[in-house]
Amino acid sequence: MKFQTYLIKYGEIGIKGKNRYMFEDALVRQIRHSLKDLDGLFHTYKAQGRVYVDCDGDYDGDEVVEALKRVFGIVGICPVVRVEDKGFEELKKDVIAYMDEVYPDKNITFKVEARRSRKSYPLNSMEISRDLGEAILYAFPESGIKVDVHHPDVMVNVEVRNEIYVYSQIIPGAGGMPVGTNGSAMLLLSGGIDSPVAGYMVSKRGVSLEATYFHAPPYTSERAKQKVVDLAKKVAKYSGPIKLHVVNFTDIQLYIYEKCPHDELTIIMRRYMMRIAEHFAKEDGCLGLITGESIGQVASQTMQSLAATNDVCTMPVYRPLIGFDKQEIVDVSEKIGTYETSIQPYEDCCTIFTPRHPLAKHPVTKPNIDVIRRSEENLNEKIDELMKQAIETVEIIEVK
């Protein structure tokens, strides 16, 4: 059976009045964006307080559903069969054929719910519901099919518009809010498992994303950078286009290595990452930073380390994974399709700092902010110039 329309269900809590229009318009925009590269002709529109996607041409229904499942703000996707109005007797036949095909096992309870947006239709909603229900029962005697008006397994919706829309299935959507309804934020995107998930989670709340990646050529390869671009592409399937800033961090890292105590390198490096990411965030009007940090996951993510990193930021830093265990993060990354890319073995930019000597010091796990600030004073001579260079030589990649 070919579904020609998808009726989009969205959560309505808190979206009354003016917000409702904003929400629906953003939803329509995001749906159009998600379908733009698929074969077929799609018409996405609002009507009677609902959003519909009409499909035409040579489209693949499964592909359409997959794309819609990545649009935040959609709670459910209902595949609709559209039938021409050729009189009520014909409609009965169509609805019976629909039930037969969609529910080969008829051991179910059902209820028909009709709506008329075309009031000139000869029967009213109650009559349509009642007569269609009866027709279905008579069509499948002794199949086990029954009516249950209170808790039916299947709600058969029949909407009389210019054509007649029949649907009963609801495919769960991604939930959340349409991207573009809640400003934008800057994701610190590494090649790991966590940060793509963090970006996904904030974007789910309607926030559009930009991203910053720090690499350290020649210590990190082109391939490591490509991995981050690939991850951004996967996140962009949900969030929409991402402006990715690729920052050459080598000179700053080497300078920190030369001037600062080696057990503080990771923390100091993180502080410079935050400062630079915040610079780009402000430039583009972002309202916050996003990281993939989670309390206690590694030495640089103890509460003290997080405080030391946070110390240099003036914008809010959103850490949506803060209370997640690693396995919970992995589960989301598998669900959204970033995991396979994240586990590719390419070096991270902190590898410059990996202690080469067996007696090398372990990183501090409880940094003291005053101590760290004092260590950073060792960088006074050249750090402003190096930051300026890193910012000026940024490479921008528009990831779609």
Please report, as ranges, the residues that interact with Mg ion according to CB under 5 A: 190, 192
Q: Is 188 in the site for ligand ATP (CB under 6 A)?
A: yes
Stretch binding ligand ATP (CB under 6 A), from 150-158, 162-170, 201-209, 290-298: 290-298
User: How far is 290 from 278, CA to CA, in rounded Å?
Assistant: 10
List the one residue from 81, 349, 364, 372 that touches ligand ATP (CB under 6 A): 349
Compute the least distance from the CB of residue 285 to ligand ATP, in Å. Answer: 20
Element counts in the chain: helices (H) and strands (E): 13, 15
Q: Which does 193 bind (CB under 5 to 8 A by kind): Mg ion, ligand ATP, none?
A: ligand ATP
Local structure of 202: helix, strand or coil: helix
Residue among 168 and 294 whose Cβ is closer to Mg ion: 294
Residue among 212 and 375 whose Cβ is closer to ligand ATP: 212
Q: Which does 288 bind (CB under 5 to 8 A by kind): ligand ATP, Mg ion, none?
A: none
- Nearest 5°: CA angle at 283, between 278 and 289? 30
Q: What does the CA dihedral 171, 174, 175, 178 come to, rounded to 10 degrees?
A: -120
CA 384 remoteness from chain centre: 36
> Residue 212, by phi and psi: left (phi above 0), alpha (psi -120 to 50) or beta?
beta
User: How far is 173 from 246, CA to CA, in rounded Å?
Assistant: 33
Site size toward ligand ATP (CB under 6 A) is 19
Local structure of 357: helix, strand or coil: coil
Compute the least distance from the CB of residue 9 to ligand ATP, in Å. Answer: 33
List the one residue from 82, 293, 352, 353 that touches ligand ATP (CB under 6 A): 293
Q: Is 17 exposed, middle or buried (0-12, 13-18, 19+ CB in 10 A)?
A: exposed
Q: Is 190 in the site for ligand ATP (CB under 6 A)?
A: yes
Beta partners for 156?
Answer: 112
Q: Is 193 in the site for ligand ATP (CB under 6 A)?
A: yes
- The answer for residues whose C-beta is within 8 angstroms of residue 398's C-beta and 6 or more apart is 241, 242, 243, 244
List the one residue from 298, 307, 343, 360 that touches ligand ATP (CB under 6 A): 298
Q: Is 291 in the site for ligand ATP (CB under 6 A)?
A: yes
Compute the least distance from the CB of residue 208 to ligand ATP, in Å. Answer: 17
Stretch binding ligand ATP (CB under 6 A), from 127-135, 163-171, 297-305, 368-376: 297-305
Binding site residues, ligand ATP, CB under 6 A? 188-190, 192-195, 212-214, 273, 291-293, 297-298, 300-301, 349
